[in-house]
């Protein structure tokens, strides 16, 4: 079990390193921040001085090693815009993003899983068909379209909620709804198919043959098994808590990480973009790790193999 944990942690570290390297290389291939920040007609000496002060005139290898070396000590560089530490800029945006993604996650799980279970238990009923139709709609509609539709109805037509901004609870409702309904649709689909898969298994029929009541068959025999594949998709959603709202934040002018990422990319604020990507990667990796652990907890077969490694 210990060697399993260690190998998982090593892999997690490698994944993060890979993301950091990728971000570093791509950002340097995609344009010169000095020209962008200083503007093209700035005097050449000023541009040279800017490059000098940010280390951009160094060989790319040296820049990379310095970046990784600093990152290991917890220094992720400074914003080229206002000189503040990039990690501080990123961290102060995290709560705003979580303020909409966490309630959205609750909505996805709280709405999607029961809807999926209900649909599976009443397969081919009217309720099942309606749920699945709604799910396809939620699945396929891009979030910005849904966002604009919700704004049109609740902000423009009805005037109940603000169209954008971040003034208290009321302005969080539309972003949460936008994120939540799409995710709930995905969740419902996955839960339904996981449940149908399990309900078709021989052990379900065997449990019924044993005299177990249908309600207990569902709650004690089917649900724990259907939870195993469902955890994968929940883990994916937890992983996207930090970075999953870029479009929605932009539509609603919500001051979260997504907006920071968009503006930092536009401004070629290298340290900030790298830092955001690193935070996103670290969070994703942690979510995956949590999923692996949850598998072990839910599925004794996985537990057995993990211990055997």
Partner 1 sequence: MTAPLVAVRGLTVDFGGGTQDSRAVDAVSLEVAPGEALGIVGESGSGKSVTWLAALGLLPAKARVTGSVRLEGQELVGAPRGDLERVRGKRIAMIFQDPSSCLNPVHRIGRQLVEALALHRGLGGRAAEAEALRLLDQVGIADARRRLSDFPHLLSGGLNQRVMIAMALAGQPDLLVADEPTTALDATIQAQILALLAAIRRDTGMALVLISHDLGVVAENVDRVAVMYAGRLVEEAPGADLFGSARHPYTQGLLAALPALTGPRRRLTAIPGTVPEPGTMPAGCRFAPRCPVAETRCATVPPPSRTVGFLHVAACHRQVEAGLSVWSLPRAAE
Q: Can you give the binding site for partner 1, defined by CB under 8 A?
A: 201-203, 205-214, 220-221, 224-225, 228, 298-301, 304
Please, which residue, 108 or 221, has the CB nearer to partner 1? Answer: 221
Least distance CB 179 / partner 1 (angstroms) = 32
Please, which residue, 18 or 203, has the CB nearer to partner 1? Answer: 203
* Cα(219)–Cα(114) distance, integer angstroms: 12
Least distance CB 2 / partner 1 (angstroms) = 22
* Cα(112)–Cα(72) distance, integer angstroms: 40
* Cα(66)–Cα(24) distance, integer angstroms: 12
Least distance CB 205 / partner 1 (angstroms) = 6
Least distance CB 134 / partner 1 (angstroms) = 24
Least distance CB 302 / partner 1 (angstroms) = 10
Please, which residue, 29 or 209, has the CB nearer to partner 1? Answer: 209
Please, which residue, 169 or 308, has the CB nearer to partner 1? Answer: 308
Least distance CB 230 / partner 1 (angstroms) = 13
Q: What are phi and psi of 74, to 5 degrees?
A: 90, 10
Please, which residue, 169 or 209, has the CB nearer to partner 1? Answer: 209
Look at the block and give the residue holding tokens 């649909």. Answer: 119
* Cα(175)–Cα(167) distance, integer angstroms: 13
- What tokens appear for 101 in the block? 């993604």
Least distance CB 120 / partner 1 (angstroms) = 13
Q: What is the largest CA-CA distance in the chain?
A: 86
Please, which residue, 142 or 304, has the CB nearer to partner 1? Answer: 304
Radius of gyration of the chain (CA): 24
Burial class (CB in 10 A: 0-12, 13-18, 19+), 87: buried
- What tokens appear for 35 in the block? 């020209």
- What tokens appear for 190 in the block? 């996955």
Residue 304, Cβ neighbours under 10 Å: how many? 10
* Cα(54)–Cα(142) distance, integer angstroms: 39
């Amino acid at each position: 079990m210990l060697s399993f944990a260690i190998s998982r942690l090593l892999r997690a570290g490698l994944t993060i390193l890979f993301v950091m390297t990728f971000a570093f290389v791509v950002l340097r291939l995609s344009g010169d921040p000095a020209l962008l920040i200083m503007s093209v007609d700035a005097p050449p000496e000023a541009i040279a001085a800017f490059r000098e002060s940010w280390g951009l005139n160094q060989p790319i290898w040296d820049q990379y090693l310095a970046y990784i070396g600093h990152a290991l000590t917890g220094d992720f560089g400074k914003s080229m815009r206002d000189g503040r530490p990039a990690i501080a800029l990123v961290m102060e945006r995290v709560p705003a993003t979580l303020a909409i993604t966490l309630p959205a996650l609750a909505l996805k799980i709280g709405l999607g899983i029961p809807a999926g279970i209900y649909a599976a238990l009443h397969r081919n009923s009217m309720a099942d068909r309606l749920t699945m139709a709604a799910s396809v709609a939620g699945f396929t509609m891009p979030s910005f379209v849904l966002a604009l539709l919700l704004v049109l109805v609740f902000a423009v037509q009805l005037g109940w909620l603000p169209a954008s901004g971040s003034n208290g609870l009321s302005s969080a409702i539309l972003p949460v709804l936008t994120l939540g309904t799409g995710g709930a649709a995905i969740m419902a689909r996955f839960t339904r198919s996981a449940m149908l898969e399990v309900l078709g298994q021989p052990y379900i029929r065997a449990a019924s043959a044993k005299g177990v009541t249908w309600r207990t068959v569902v709650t004690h025999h089917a649900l724990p098994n259907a939870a195993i594949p469902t955890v994968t998709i929940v883990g994916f959603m937890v992983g996207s808590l930090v970075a999953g709202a870029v479009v929605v934040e932009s539509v609603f002018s919500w001051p979260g990480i997504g907006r920071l990422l968009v503006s930092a990319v536009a401004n070629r604020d290298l340290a900030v973009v790298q830092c955001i990507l690193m935070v996103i990667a670290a969070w994703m990796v942690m979510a995956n790790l949590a999923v692996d652990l949850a598998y072990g907890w839910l599925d004794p077969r996985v537990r057995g193999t993990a211990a055997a490694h």
